[in-house]
Structure 1
Amino acid sequence: MDGASINLTQSIFSLPYFRQFTLTITILALCFPVVVLFGLFTNITNIIVFLKAGVKDNVTTLLISLSVSDMMFLVLVTPSLCTFIIIYFVPHWPWPFYDGLIDELLYWPSYTFYDFSSCISVGLGVTRCACVAMPLQFKSVFTKARTVKALFVLFILVVSIRVPIMSTYKLVWIKDPLTNSTTLSVRGQKVESITRFNDIVGRTSLPWINFIIMITCVGVIKLKLYQASMAHKYHTSKSSAASGSRQASEAPNHQGRSAKDLRVIQCVVLICCIFIVSQLPFLTYSTYRLTNPQFDTTGRLRFLFFTLGAIGRIFAYLNASVNIFVYYNYNRTYRSILLSMLRSERKNVQ
């Protein structure tokens, strides 16, 4: 096959992906700012409510840390998002610097916080899983102080993984010989070993490890709660037959867990499920990128690469934005404080 035939074949295969890319980006470009602004508002609200409630235990410590990390992710991604929208809708915008400067400088710092949020979500799943599976052994293990130390270690870990790839970028001045002017730009040094390390460890292995741990934790929690529910029904029916309905109502419920504990477990399980769903597009995207060299920014499947990347971004933004609904429905203290804040704000407006 000659070169002209190869180019024709590549064009035929690329064209459908280009159409999908154009349609996807046009739709998501309108959704991106709405989701990000909503996420900034909800995470600021979460932080205020949790501070008012008081950070008294390990679960609240993890939840407020998750909100702070999600907020930082959305704050750092906002300038990149604004740049992207301007480039897409106003391609001839007169930039005073290289148009991809902001995105390339802030991409890895922003997704470092996204990785940190992923690790916090996994921490929530692991702590609740351990407490549900073996409550007596782990009842006093996950203290607030130990949780803070673990968060610090996790943050150092995710930063350490991203520092090598971030160190390959540097600011440079590029001179235009036609206009005799210089433009501030960013240049990434192509260091094969660092790039490969980042692709394998940061973009694929770590997300997959978090994903597998999270699915395992949710499965164990659901199994243990189901077993406890079956045991409760058995004791209830046995007590009802032996001593009447009054003793049946006093039978152990979910291994003696209070309604508050069950709401905490339900809250954590939902947060874990949101994490699992939101990670699927990115995991598909990053894993396929490792196995197919054409699935990259300059390969034959570049438009499919950009399309799945955009879909992965909207799922990441949603993951960092929607936890407020979980907290409102499953945390009575959170709901009470939030409603009180809304009533006070309404009175002030009136």
Structure 2
Amino acid sequence: MTLNVTQPCQEVDNVSSLSTGGEFITEAQLYIILMSISTLTQVLSIGGVITNSINIAVFVKLGFNETSNMSLLTLALSDLLSTILTLWGTLCITPGFSDAELPFLPTEIAQLTGAGLSMLVLRCTAWVTAFISFERCLCILIPLKVKKWITPKTTTAVLVAIPIVTIVPSIGMYWRWNFVWKFLPGRNATVLGVKVVSTPFLDLKEKIENIIFGLIQPIVAFVTVLVCTVFLVVYLRRSSQWRKSMASAGGKTAGGDNSSRFELKQNISRKEEKVVRLVTSIATIFMVCYTPNTLMFLNMAIFPSFSLFGQHRNVFILLYLVSVLANSVSASVNIFIYYNMGTRYRNALRLMFHFDSEDSVK
């Protein structure tokens, strides 16, 4: 999906005000909202670049003996790339930058190097999150068999396959959107821009890709994360009830062996519960922040006029801006979840920044 808010709508006679359930979004109001959200998104994206760079360094330091570290590292890499692309895309539509006499047209170039690519990377993030949630569900359902199925090799294969399946097929948009040199009489200069190539084959190809990769894939990933998160929340509640009942029974049990077994089971349960809580938190934040994207995809599929060049252009742009902002939030806050819920992550981070000595961490 690409976005160029400066391109005029060709299908609407009056785009200065569009009705949205009794409310009106004028071009002037949209411009103010655009600047406000873009500025906030840029700030969050800069924070996301910093936090995800730290996450990558910490997970590399922790190693990959646990497959969960591999998945979380991939998630951090995806979030880092997404925030960089978002930062670039929002910068290109900033008036001070887009109005400068650059050797390219920022608002056009951003479509292929910013907005479009960031949406592709977001699909990868969605499926990595779905895989992390699904893996944790398997650890609960089949704890004895999951280590045979989810090995470092299989995890690597899945994490490599995800970007291939989610991103590579949509790279074909560059067959339709081409970089071209454009002459600007007002500046008396030739600059790099973008031209849309329209042929019956490319039009049909784009429609099929939008349905499969722009609608079905993201929604399936969202539903997968939703189902897995609900299952994990139910597990957390049952685990909490189980610990309370076992604590009550353990206090009445005599004998060292029974007490030791009880303590061992309780410790294992608490360790598993911490991981489940971490995964649940990541998945919940992702779902909340990914909801605007899901709504946008559904509206585009149901209402043909809901597009950049349709009757509801301003509403589309507004929802797109909200989704970009939400994605920036999702890609920036994971470090706080890791630090608060992951003991090994917290120790490695503190050691990396020399807050603790190596002996105290051990």
Q: Kindly tell me: are residues 102 and 220 of structure 1, through their superposed partners in 2, closer, same or farther at Cα, counting changes over 3 Å?
A: same
Give 1:44 shift: 0.6
What letter is aligned with 2:229?
Answer: V
Give 1:55 shift: 2.0
Give 1:259 shift: 3.2
Percent identical among aligned pairs is 23
Match of 1:184 among 167, 192, 196: 192
Give 1:241 shift: 5.0
What letter is aligned with 1:62?
Answer: S
Partner of 1:131: 139
Partner of 2:359: none
What letter is aligned with 1:172?
Answer: V
Give 1:34 shift: 0.8
Partner of 2:38: 29
Matched residue SS, 1:299 = coil
Partner of 2:333: 322
Whether the 8 Å contact between 1:296 and 1:302 is mirrored in structure 2 is: yes
Give 1:43 shift: 0.6
What does 1:1-350 correspond to in 2, within 5 Å?
11=17, 13=19, 16-18=24-26, 20-85=29-94, 87=95, 92-106=99-113, 107-176=115-184, 181-190=189-198, 191-240=202-251, 243=254, 251=262, 257-343=268-354
Give 1:10 shift: 8.1
Whether the 8 Å contact between 1:79 and 1:102 is mirrored in structure 2 is: no
Whether the 8 Å contact between 1:74 and 1:317 is mirrored in structure 2 is: yes
Give 1:140 shift: 3.0
Whether the 8 Å contact between 2:103 and 2:190 is mirrored in structure 1 is: no
Q: Kindly tell me: are residues 7 and 162 of structure 1, through their superposed partners in 2, closer, same or farther at Cα, counting changes over 3 Å?
A: closer
TM-score by length of 2: 0.83
Q: Which moved more, 1:195-204 or 1:93-102?
A: 93-102
Q: Which moved more, 1:287-296 or 1:119-128?
A: 287-296
Matched residue SS, 1:136 = coil
Task: Give the distance between the partners of 2:265 and 2:337, measured in 1 at CA.
Answer: 22
Whether the 8 Å contact between 2:127 and 2:221 is mirrored in structure 1 is: yes
Whether the 8 Å contact between 1:229 and 1:253 is mirrored in structure 2 is: no
Q: Which moved more, 1:150-159 or 1:122-131?
A: 150-159
Q: Which moved more, 1:98-107 or 1:272-281?
A: 98-107
Partner of 1:348: none
Partner of 2:3: none
Whether the 8 Å contact between 1:327 and 1:334 is mirrored in structure 2 is: yes
Q: Kindly tell me: are residues 254 and 129 of structure 1, through their superposed partners in 2, closer, same or farther at Cα, counting changes over 3 Å?
A: farther
CA deviations over 1:117-170 (Å, ceiling 9, x no partner):
211111100000111122223243211121011111112101233122233221
TM-score by length of 1: 0.86
Give 1:90 shift: 6.4
Matched residue SS, 1:13 = strand
Q: Which moved more, 1:246-255 or 1:140-149?
A: 246-255
Instruction: Give the count of matched residue pairs.
Output: 338
Give 1:255 shift: 7.7
Matched residue SS, 2:101 = coil
Task: Give the distance between the partners of 1:9 and 1:233, measured in 2 at CA.
Answer: 61
Higher helix share: 1
Task: Give the distance between the partners of 2:101 and 2:53, measured in 1 at CA.
Answer: 34
Q: Tell me, which stretches of 5 or more residues in structure 2 are unaligned?
A: 1-11, 357-362
Whether the 8 Å contact between 2:98 and 2:107 is mirrored in structure 1 is: no
Give 1:77 shift: 2.9
Task: Give the distance between the partners of 1:250 and 1:181, measured in 2 at CA.
Answer: 79
Please tell me the root mean square deviation across aligned C-alpha atoms, in Å.
2.9
What letter is aligned with 1:103?
Answer: A
Give 1:200 shift: 1.5
Whether the 8 Å contact between 2:178 and 2:196 is mirrored in structure 1 is: yes
Task: Give the distance between the partners of 2:151 and 2:18, measured in 1 at CA.
Answer: 59
Give 1:105 shift: 1.9
Give 1:344 shift: 6.1
Task: Give the distance between the partners of 1:227 and 1:139, measured in 2 at CA.
Answer: 23
Partner of 2:9: none
Matched residue SS, 2:167 = helix
